[in-house]
Structure 1
């Protein structure tokens, strides 16, 4: 009986493995926001956090990438390195420094809500650079346009309208606020909002550039290791100008240290692997559909577990952004179905034409001897 139950559970896990992995990934991201916020409240500088986080991942990832992708990795050239440099700037150092700096001025709920606009911003940029074609005469095209507009309306609401604070009705079971240099946290909502939006724009550009870079550098693990290394160095140079005191770089082995380790291994390690695996199995739309789950989990934990205020503007804007995201994803999904069906029809037409040609040739071959006899 017990073996039968275990076998059934194993079958369920295999059947829903992509779903389970994506839920775990979003949970990892959710916990990261609160651990990071707690570390910031204890005095961890966001720039130092980004620097250490990616250098740790680079050291861990580089040996695996070197041995795993020896045959797949192309030869490094100056132009390729410059391309990786730009990718690292947009995908790691500049973007994440702005992103985590925005967390100091806003809240985890706000930041996770704004991230949901990345798909819409990427869609707009893709249209501008002619990587995406929109058929506004079709319902799927209208859904993509409407979803983008709705997402932007949501993020505008969150940015410009903070709204009334909704306080938690009971004392927080877990407190992540405290001394240690975190007095400036959440001091400027508007500043944090613009930093978050700017980071999302950079992220979107990075997604566009990454798509073309992977064609020239198909070794994904090596590219990730390169970006973590170069991005970490870029962030270190920037942080050295911002943080002159050597003691700022000393993090000890307390919360700050474990925050960096957790973020590096859980969010840059496990979640990246899970997303790549799920993308291969289920496609990119499936992976993107789970992104709002982190927003919901962050809001629930922030309010009930950590006693953080929820703001009306963030709630309204977050719901609108998620609605817009799913409208856009629905349109993209229907686009893929349409293109797949069109390709299938084209293949069938080609196959049909080939059969007709083959049949005609066979008939001609049969008629040729008859003509010869006559």
Structure 2
């Protein structure tokens, strides 16, 4: 049992580091002139190239359920959210850096909790430890996100070749972009929380992972093409250079859109959603290391304070969610035992 659990943890940590690696590659490629709109289109188109034959082969062995129009409409909504998340995420990274992007990803459980409370899907019972933990964790997460967005503080790691005067000028010039990036990343993760809810809605009535992923990816490809042609009308922007740009697109399509989707489905079936997201805060550490090493990012005091607060809030929300799921499981086990006892009593009465 421990070996299988360690295997899942190792795979999830690897995927998390690969996701941070994509953010780092994307930041480097956009710095060299790659358009994020063009990148999103090519990444989804290439992913679709792998998904279509895979889905066809899979459903030749296992027949697929009929796709109803109502389910397709939900997939269309899923595609709108997915396309919006990708656009906001990568533009946010372009304005800030992968470290802030990884930190903001931890806001997803808090946003999911808030949406569930507002929509009436979850009651805010502060007398329950699980609900109280999620409420406190959500507040801590929002405070940490605001701190990372508005306060950077003095630098910790600074390239010796940069003089204090030039660093001050650079800090002033990038401050507004950093704040804008923080808001864009927060908006992306709010929409990502909505995406997870819609995805669960779709999968509940149409549990065909391959078909849902392929159809959604196809719709995102069409949407990103339309948005990209409006945002980047110059044909030269659509020419991928056979260097870092092409590597970033292939990396995103193969490892993130295709491989990550399959790994997440596998891990969710094995251990459930709470276990899958427990490694998310490790992405901040990987982002800091990659950012300082490969991008020459300046690491600030605000990154440490804000990142620590966000990690604390994240695990607080996850603890509340795990506690809640344990209570549900215990209730289910108790009801099962009660049903068994009733049936045994009936059998003894009949005897």
Match of 2:78 in 1: 87
Does residue 286 (structure 1) correspond to residue 275 (structure 2)? The answer is yes
Q: How far did 1:284 drift?
A: 1.2
Distance 2:214 2:46 in 1: 10
Does residue 236 (structure 1) correspond to residue 248 (structure 2)? The answer is no
Aligned length: 340
1:261 paired residue among 244, 250, 266: 250
Contact 1:117 1:152 in 2 (8 A): yes
Distance 1:94 1:299 in 2: 26
Match of 1:55 in 2: 45
2:67 paired residue among 59, 76, 98: 76
Contact 1:114 1:318 in 2 (8 A): no
Contact 1:107 1:186 in 2 (8 A): no
Match of 1:162 in 2: 152
Q: Label 1:171 to 1:297 Cα distance change in 2 as closer, same or farther (>3 A).
A: farther
Distance 2:313 2:124 in 1: 16
2:99 paired residue among 93, 104, 109: 109
Normalization by structure 1: what TM-score? Answer: 0.85
1:37 paired residue among 2, 8, 27: 27
Contact 1:73 1:218 in 2 (8 A): no
Contact 2:81 2:192 in 1 (8 A): yes
Distance 1:318 1:132 in 2: 28
1:215 paired residue among 191, 204, 207: 204
1:308 paired residue among 288, 297, 304: 297
Q: How far did 1:327 drift?
A: 0.5
Q: How far did 1:322 drift?
A: 1.2
Q: How far did 1:87 drift?
A: 0.4
2:134 paired residue among 115, 128, 144: 144
1:188 partner SS = helix
Q: Structure 1 stretches (4+) deviating beyond 6 angstroms? A: 184-187
RMSD over aligned CA atoms reads: 2.2
Q: Deviations over 1:283-334 (max 9, x none)?
A: 1111100111111111122224543112333322221111111011111111
Contact 1:168 1:303 in 2 (8 A): no
2:311 paired residue among 322, 336, 354: 322
Q: How far did 1:85 drift?
A: 1.3
Distance 1:193 1:58 in 2: 30
1:166 partner SS = strand
1:224 paired residue among 198, 213, 216: 213
2:281 partner SS = helix
Larger radius of gyration: 1
Distance 2:295 2:242 in 1: 23
Distance 1:140 1:78 in 2: 38
Unpaired stretches in structure 2, ≥5 consecutive residues: 163-172
Q: How far did 1:75 drift?
A: 2.5
1:43 partner SS = coil
Distance 1:41 1:185 in 2: 14
Distance 1:326 1:343 in 2: 25
Q: How far did 1:171 drift?
A: 7.4
